[in-house]
Amino acid sequence: MEKRAVLAIVLSLVVVVLWSIIFAPPPAPPPSEVSEPAPSSRAPRPGVGTPPPATPSSPGAVTSTARTTEQPPGSPAAPEDLVTVDTGVARLVLTSQGAGVRAVQLGKYYTTLAKGAPPVEIAPVPGSTTLPLHAELSIEQRVTSLGQIVFTPSQTKVLLSPSQPEGTVTFRGELADGRTVHRLYRFHYENYTFEVSTWIEGLEPPARSSMLLLWGPGLLRHTDDVNRQGQTGEHPRSYVSGKILDVAPKKPGETHTEQGQVAWTALADTYFAAVLMPQEPAGDAIITRRLEGDRLEIGLRTPLTQGQARQTVRVYVGPKSQPILETVETKKKKIK
């Protein structure tokens, strides 16, 4: 009897164990397995995987934007205002970028003899980072380029005529230190010559301060004009202390400086020329730079003093015609 009772109990236990193994629901996964893939448990760590503002690439975009806003006024990304000036013999396009010259069209000279040929245009070389008539201010051996400043023009169109033989355009800009820069252009009817004055409001320059007015790089000719028979490339020519100078640096990045009493400095080719002539104060040096390839840049330096902190220069841009040049100034006959 006791053996039967023990056997019954053992069989009952076997049945219970087999039932629980075969028919019981699958066990829940351990807590560690659940927390591993759960989004809530991973959220604190992968913050860098959130939308773009928090990704590693964001700081680069922010830095790029910051660099743009931290650039001095006149950065290439700034909007450009153009000013057209028609003198009857030339059509000039000025720009708010550095208050420089974007182009000069010579209405009486054409690129070819073909009917409907476009007029000759003297303009900066494509791809240049600076424009003709940009200026560099040198104070205590520190050079500030005014060509990177965005100026505001007083008007956008000037049309000269016999009834309005003279016209002016003023530009106003701001240095990084908050001081105001002024530039004044004065044009004359039926004339290839104009004056440009540049000064900084409230500036009291220390000794050895100066301003450098530059033309370049280059004189851009029409493609057909470049291939004209007898056409030569641009070359510098200056009249300093009674001597004609025509030295051009040979290596890119090289600058040639000649000190003395400057009458004029020019960049010319066979047919056309851009000439800088100091008015006040007198020029004390000229520079010639080779930028790259055959690109040249000329400059006229004038000293700045507390009594004279304004630079005024006469500029001639036009044909290299002897009669026309002689009406500008007798010494121009030495431009060849």
**Domains, the chain, ranges and CATH?**
2-69 (no CATH), 80-334 (2.70.98.90)
Statement: the pTM of the whole predicted model exceeds 0.85 = no
Q: What is the average per-residue pLDDT within 231-256? A: 89
Residue 57 has what pLDDT?
36
Q: What is the average per-residue pLDDT within 124-138? A: 84
154 falls in which pLDDT band (50, 70, 90)?
very high
Q: What is the average per-residue pLDDT within 53-77? A: 36
1 falls in which pLDDT band (50, 70, 90)?
low
Residue 220 has what pLDDT?
57
User: What's the chain look like in SS3?
Assistant: CHHHHHHHHHHHHHHHHHHHHHHCCCCCCCHHHHHCCCHHHHCCCCHHHCCHHHCCHHHHHHHHHHHHHHCCCCCCCCCCCEEEEECCCEEEEEECECCCEEEEEEEEEECCCCCCCCEEEECCCCCCCCCCCEEEEEECCEEEEHHHCECEECCCEEECECCECEEEEEEEEECCCCCEEEEEEEEECCCCEEEEEEEECCCCCCCCEEEEEEECCCCCCCHHHHCCCCCCCCEEEEEECCEEECCCCCCCCCEEEEEEEEEEEEEECCCEEEEEEEEECCEEEEEEEECCCCCEEEEEEEEECCCCCEEEEEEEEEECCHHHHHHHCHHHHHCC
Q: What is the average per-residue pLDDT within 127-132? A: 80
- Name the average pLDDT for the chain: 79
